[in-house]
Amino acid sequence: MSPHHSHARSSLPIAGEDHARLTIDLSALADNWRAMARRSGAARTAAVLKADGYGIGLEHAGRTFHHAGARDFFVATPAEGATLRAVLPDARIYVLSGMWAGSERLFFEFDLVPVIVSEEQLVVFMAAVSDGRDHPCVLHVDTGMNRLGLRVEDALALANDAARPASFSPIMLLSHLACADEPAHPLNRQQLQRFRSVVEAFDDIDASLANSAGIFLGEDYHFTLTRPGIALYGGSAVNGVENPMKPVVTAEARILQVREAKAGESVSYGATPLARDSRIAIAAIGYADGYMRTLGAGVPLRAAGIPGASGVLHGRTVPLIGRVTMDLTHFDVTDLPPGSVRAGDFIELFGRAMPIQDVARAAGTVDYELLTSLGNRYERRYEAVKK
């Protein structure tokens, strides 16, 4: 099965002229959704498509999840929802940032469900439907993250308010777990108990608490709808355990030059010294492409003893040396056979051979940030879902 190319954005490189490429395995993406749906048991399973489908392309991800069986989708903004609606006319699309004054038209025109996150947004929504318009909404309850949502006591007061307008009848309650990636963290159980108290106060309503990591916490956290995100894209959802998800994105960069340098010479900005005679491959990748500066030398992480990143070239792991620059990065290929690395070869930065969570750890970040920081200079190659 050969990959096909997508150049939906005019700024994307022309095939064959790419300096870096992303290969996106849509079969793995679909399989990951199915795996999370199985783990969700009796609960429906949504798909989170924020940040352009975690960097892989919202339209491709949306179609793939829908084909796999998803019918509920979460985006961050109404603009993302409008884009997704053009691709999935029959899906239910929830907007996590809610409705604010001036955004109402998008929700009605594109049939988007706002997730009401504050008392102020509740006022905006009620004004928008004051003409008798029947439009669904979701109520976000803050159970311990102190980010978005009504406080538990305010949500309970709303549920028990006899004067609550009949036009405000949310179709679902939603909250977000702060520490689900640490299964033993006591806040998980506290948030669960707080959320249950609100769900019980509303009559016969859908509820959603579990993100990717929350799904792994078990059935108690699933309620009626789970909403996996990072796990769908191959990321690691739970700390300290082997990642069971299939890798979806493989990032590679072209080698522009292979050069030799003597022990005592230096590489890149800041003049990182070489301890041995070395062969160095210069890859066309840098922090302008989301390959972070913190992956290389000269940053506090290295001083703290945290190893830098490596790539995979011709099946061998090769270390990054020197500082990552805006467009270029050095890799030490001394231990590969002479002549085996040539200009035009591609080095894997993360993906099938180099786990993304390992690269994220070297950068002092999480795989979410790596995926969503990918720039638009990559040629994107989509491997179609296997029939």
Residues marked active site are found at: 50, 269
Nearest to 359 by CA among 324, 300, 308, 319: 308
| DSSP string covering 98-167 | ---TT-HHHHHHTTEEEEE-SHHHHHHHHHHTTTS-----EEEEESSS-SSSEEHHHHHHHHT-TT--TT
DSSP H/E element including 310: strand 310-313
Burial label for 361, CB within 10 Å (0-12, 13-18, 19+), is middle
- Number of neighbours of residue 102 by Cβ within 10 angstroms: 8
Half-sphere exposure of 93 (CA within 13 A, CB side): 30
CA distance 355 to 265: 31
As given in the structure block, the two tokens for residue 296 are 């290389």
Task: Name the 3-class secondary structure at 58.
Answer: helix
| DSSP string covering 241-300 | S---SPP-EEEEEEEEEEEEE-TT-EETTTTEEPSS-EEEEEES--GGGT--GGGSSSSH
- Number of neighbours of residue 301 by Cβ within 10 angstroms: 19
Q: How far is CA 123 from CA 52, 92, 149, 163, in A?
A: 29, 23, 14, 15
Q: CA 319, 322, 325, 330 torsion: positive or negative?
A: negative
Q: How far is CA 45 from CA 39, 71, 97, 178, in A?
A: 9, 8, 20, 20
Tracing tokens 């790419």 back to the chain, one arrives at 18
